[in-house]
Amino acid sequence: MSVASYIALSGQMALERRMVTIANNMANINTVGFKSDAVRFEAVLKGQGDNQVDYVSEGDIFIDRAEGGLNPTGNELDVAITGNAWLGVQTPNGLVYTRDGRFKLDAAGGLVTLLGHPVVDAGGQRIEIDPAGGPPTIGSQGQILQAGQRTGSIGLFQLPADAVLTRSENSAVVSDQPGQPVTDFAGISVHQGFVETSNVSPVLEMTRLIMVQRAFEAAASALETAESTQGRVVRELGAAS
């Protein structure tokens, strides 16, 4: 197979990977707190001297941390965050971080996610609300008040910019570096009675889908041309010999 064929194939593999991320993003347009997938491509240089060839890597998928919009729900236990912060949730597999603030109370009055996992405060401890203490008010820094008295606080955590995030259940992520409790709330705020929408842009994803499809067709055409040229050269050289 010619070098041109390998280059075209590497391009098709990268485009297929991009197609997978687009499909996953489109499937989660309406998922609360969902952060879209993106792909980072780099050229892979092989060979030496005048024989160097740039191949396309398959691409590294990463999670885009851009914020979604705010959607009002009127539910007193729903919260959304604006700014660079995440909610902490304790799961059987350890602490995970999420922007999905749809919460409820368990039988013991603990604040939990829709999957029943405890929401934690800045110290990593579960949060309890007195079911008989009246409607809770959640302040802009996550503080919880009942009848004017502070009963707890929702923990907010910042994840390092270079942390590698992997997906967990229900829009949550796992970080390879621990999140740090927020101490400076400049630009960070909690909104009671709202949830954060997915950060997926349907128009942008459809545009990307069209571009990927066209690029894939172009790579397929280039591959076909390269193979046809190679075949013609073999036939002509064979006949000449």
Q: Are 106 and 115 in contact (CB under 8 A)?
A: no
> Which token pair is 73?
């729900």
How many Å is the Cα radius of gyration of the chain?
25
Q: Give the pLDDT of the chain (241 residues) as one tens digit per residue.
A: 455 555 555 666 777 778 888 999 999 999 999 999 988 755 444 444 455 545 555 667 899 999 999 999 999 999 999 999 999 999 999 999 999 999 999 999 999 999 999 999 999 999 999 988 889 999 999 999 999 899 999 999 999 999 999 999 989 999 999 999 999 999 999 999 999 999 999 999 988 888 877 776 776 676 666 556 555 655 565 555 5
- The pLDDT score that the predictor gives to residue 5 is 55
pLDDT score of 58: 61
Distance, CA of 224 to chain centre: 36
pLDDT of the residue at 131: 85
The pLDDT of residue 238 is: 58
Q: Smallest Cα–Cα separation from 127: which of 147, 142, 148, 149?
A: 142
Cα distances from 73 to residues 63, 79, 81, 127, 193, in angstroms, run: 26, 9, 14, 22, 5
Q: Where are the alpha helices (DSSP H) in the chain?
A: 3-27, 202-240
